[in-house]
Chains A and B, each alone.
Chain A
């Protein structure tokens, strides 16, 4: 077992967060958010990995063969679904903001200062 996947996940997490923090474009910001999310997938996949194991689908193979952990894959799938909803919502909000203001810069709003 190598630690490489965890380093990749940490890299994705930090790069995504950097992007979200410094973004000047809402669509770019939302895509950076999905990069952060990708880090969680890498972590989950790495957690479930077993050396020499196959995919946990036993339709045409012996049930005694080692397989990777199906629970984390179920977690990942659930999370993809939920996050797809949130990203869709965010993009819809961006479309509305563009319609209202003609701009997609998250820095422009100053209604919330103070």
Chain B
């Protein structure tokens, strides 16, 4: 008997949402530990279900129509379809894995009001899984909105503090405006094609290509919400505020998976709907995305190195790495897309590990400021070593996935655009170096003890309860597990080759269209060869990072580099913390993106 794949298809969303409803109803009656266990089991179960789906679709994608409603050419296009392939299902498994790590971390978390925290985490999980699996533009949008709603509630969970409330507000307003623009774009595309399904839209656009100006506007509009979510310049301002103040396990999810999902949605939208009709204009899209990616990466990296508050430092580091991922995506080739996906997985786990380390510091010392913590961390140097080891991954050193991913990107640019490698080296060095600098100061007491005169609060309310003299085992376990899972699977060449194979399948729209619209059965081609590995860029990045850290920590050299950092500090003036400014940037940015694309497509 054949395994009932079709019955499993909706479960990665149904199970977490169903459990969330049950826990919401029973919140008053079940003890804390039962809630923890129920939520953990649900997320582990979602990992398993997604992996089963990924395993079941290795030969051909599975198209699942809800309620058996399937649009056909003669009737009204009613029907919501999901496209399940090893990439979408694998990403859903990765989402559930991150949620599992976050829940493991929050074992010692004390601010639990009834079952609200667990319910929100499970709704967040269900929404993210839905976003991964959807093959329908409006369905994708709805999951995206649900993700925003759950994310805002989780971000502002510490509602007795001012920072999280303001962070959640900036998050909600910025993302809502982005979502409205996306919805307008969806309205336009539906008006033009009469379809909401990726494959249906792609077929309609190919049959009757719209004028370039319309195409440029619609692409930028539809992607707007997702670009805001993934914090691409100049839509990134909200991220630093929200990620820095959210509860630690929530920051793990925000940086570890939510921003990556925004870019994944952009990839799905472009390759699923627009790639065929943009074939004559592919260079225009490439230049636009490369420019956006480079600006995001450089700005994020420079701001990251200036931060002294660990969570804020990590938030800017996430912005920088989003830029690097967007550069990978922008090359618009199978190898580059494989690099993007591999990077997203690797970066997500490294960031999860680093945020968990931040949570441990907060638990032990009640502060996240580099200068306040100066040398205090000597009693838990193991955590400091863990941070430094994770920082090596940000510099794309082997054996991290980021190393293999940047090699794929390097291969995908075909010896053109040398600057891409430079941006990878520079941003890796700055973001990795910032973490190393923090760890050396906080855990090893290196460098001068500077007077604390930052705007950031020196001490913040703890999120945890219990013995502050020890590192709780579930927390350390979650951190170590994140790092180990980030390193171990990528050592297998077969695992890396799979990314390449299925990235090529994701780009092959014909494959997907055939499956959705009917036609000859499509199968996934065997994997192309992996590129040869080049170690020099990573080692250059490491050397640069060490020079940077040394120049900051050694007083004599410090004066020389001071001027450079003062120049960078000017960028900080744009980060005003005012949501109105962020929205103004967002609108100006959208206009600029659409204009840039339209001018090039003329």
Binding site for B on A (CB under 8 A): 9, 13, 17, 20-23, 26, 29, 33, 36-37, 39-40, 43-44, 47, 70-72, 75, 78-79, 82-83, 85-86, 89-90, 93-94, 96-97, 100-101, 106-107, 109-114
Contact = CB atoms under 8 A, between A and B. Distances in A.
B78 A39 contact: no
B186 interface: yes
A106 B455 contact: no
Interface of B is mostly: helix
Given A89-B152, A100-B162, A106 B169 contact: yes
B77 A114 contact: no
A43 B186 CA distance: 10
Nearest to B189: A47
Given A40-B183, A90-B173, A82 B146 contact: yes
B77 A86 contact: no
A106 B196 CA distance: 38
B173 A33 contact: yes
A82 B130 CA distance: 15
A111 B169 contact: no
Query: In which size bucket is the chain B interface?
Result: 35 or more
B583 A21 contact: yes
A100 B149 contact: no
Contact of B166 (A17, A83, A112): A112
A66 B172 CA distance: 40
Interface string B158-171: 01111101111110
Contacts of B306: 114
Contacts of A47: 187-188, 190-191
Nearest to A56: B76
A75 B142 CA distance: 9
Contacts of B145: 79, 82-83, 86
Contact of B584 (A21, A94, A110): A21
B572 interface: yes
Contact of A111 (B456, B572, B580): B456
B474 interface: no
Contacts of B457: 111
A37 B473 CA distance: 47
B449 interface: no
Contacts of B190: 47, 71-72, 75
A40 B187 contact: yes
Interface of B: 76-78, 138, 142, 145-146, 148-149, 152-153, 156, 159-163, 165-170, 172-173, 176-177, 180, 183-184, 186-188, 190-191, 196, 240-241, 244, 306, 455-457, 569, 572-573, 575-581, 583-584, 587
Contacts of A93: 152, 156, 159, 165, 168-169, 172
A97 B165 contact: yes
Contact of A114 (B138, B142, B166, B572): B572
16 contacts: A13-B180, A13-B184, A20-B580, A37-B176, A47-B187, A86-B149, A93-B165, A97-B162, A97-B166, A100-B161, A106-B169, A107-B580, A112-B163, A112-B575, A113-B576, A114-B569
Given A111-B166, A114-B455, A86 B176 contact: yes
Contacts of A70: 76
Contacts of A109: 162, 166, 577
Contacts of A94: 169
A17 B165 CA distance: 22
A34 to B, nearest CB: 10
Contact of B578 (A39, A85, A90, A106): A106
Tell me which of A29, A39, A47, A109 has the highest count of chain B C-beta atoms within 10 A of its own C-beta.
A109
Contact of A113 (B142, B160, B163, B455): B455
B580 A23 contact: yes
A33 B152 CA distance: 16
A114 B575 contact: yes
